[in-house]
Amino acid sequence: MSWYVVLVLLVALERVAELVVSLRNARWSFAQGGVESGRGHYPFMVALHTGLLAGCLAEAAHRPFVPWLGWTMFAVVLLSQGLRWWCIAVLGHQWNTRVIVVPGLRLVAGGPYRWLRHPNYVAVIAEGIALPLVHTAWVTATVFTVLNIPLLAVRIRTEEAALNSALLK
pLDDT in tens, 52-99: 999 999 999 999 999 999 999 999 999 999 999 999 999 999 999 999
For 12, phi and psi rounded to 5 degrees?
-60, -40
Q: Which residues contact 121 (CB under 8 A, 6 or more apart)?
A: 152, 155, 156
Tell me the sheet residues that pair with 36. 100
Residue in 76, 56, 12, 51 with CA at minimum distance from that of residue 147: 51
Q: What is the pTM assigned to this prediction? A: 0.93
- Confidence tier at 37 by pLDDT (50, 70, 90): very high
Return the minimum-mean-pLDDT range out of 6-20, 77-91, 98-112: 98-112
Q: All domains of the chain, ordered by start, with CATH?
A: 2-166 (1.20.120.1630)
Angle at 160 between CA 107 and CA 43, to 5 degrees: 115
Please give the DSSP secondary-structure letter assigned to residue 110.
Answer: S
Please give the DSSP secondary-structure letter assigned to residue 37.
Answer: E
